[in-house]
Amino acid sequence: MIRNSLRSAATVLACACLALSPASARQWNPDARGAALDYTQIVHAKGPGEVVVVWWVTPQAFPPGVNDQVVQDVLSRYVVLGIAHGRTATTGQMSFDAIADLRITDSTDRSLGSLPSNVTPPEVAQTISALQTLARQSLGPIGQGIRWFVFDGSTIHACSSGMMSVPFDRETYTYDTPIPGCPK
């Protein structure tokens, strides 16, 4: 079961590796999964050598039929966000800021804190562990710098009408829902 989760996450992360590259081209006529993946990844080049990556991992970004049901359930019930704030040194090596905490806001302006690791259900911890491992292996330096956060998803759903805001480092990154790739 976990092996299937890792395989499906590897597929998504391989696509994300290409999508997160600053020199990547826009997709031409993407399918629903590609549209979801493209929309849920925010890459903000803040200035010379500085980048913020915000990735909302949603079930719609995974290929149909490949996913393990546990991963689908976790991504449907929780908001899973990966975030990295990196800087490139003159040597070309990247370093990342430690991100201790993150809060998000739903469409009613309700602020949500991330779930503490000591109350995270085992299936959520396994999903995050798989995402973390695959991001580090597939996305290079950015994958190594991603910090994962899990939030209660009762008021934020990728395919329901609403929005989510992610305030971070004097910016507010937003997602309008339903996201591209949701069934019409």
Please write the tens of the pLDDT for every residue from 74-112. Answer: 999 999 999 999 999 989 899 999 998 999 999 999 999
Q: Is residue 169 part of a domain?
A: yes
Q: Is residue 119 part of a domain?
A: yes
Q: Is residue 184 part of a domain?
A: no
Q: Is residue 115 part of a domain?
A: yes
- Give the three-state DSSP class for 184: coil
pLDDT higher than 50, residue 164? yes
CB 165 within 8 A of CB 104: yes
Using alpha carbons only, what angle is made at residue 144 by residues 168 and 122, rounded to the nearest 5 degrees?
85
- How many domains are there within the chain? 1
Q: Which amino acid, residue 60?
A: Q
**Residue-averaged pLDDT of the chain:** 84
Using alpha carbons only, what angle is made at residue 132 by residues 127 and 133, rounded to the nearest 5 degrees?
100
Which token pair is 49?
Answer: 């050598």
Q: Is residue 36 part of a domain?
A: yes
CB count, 10 Å around CB of 155?
Answer: 16
pLDDT higher than 80, residue 31? yes
Mean pLDDT of 38-56: 94
Q: Is residue 182 part of a domain?
A: no
Q: Is residue 183 part of a domain?
A: no
Assign residue 27 a region (left: φ > 0; alpha: ψ between -120 and 50; beta: otherwise). Answer: beta
Domain that holds residue 70: 2-177
CB 134 within 8 A of CB 140: no
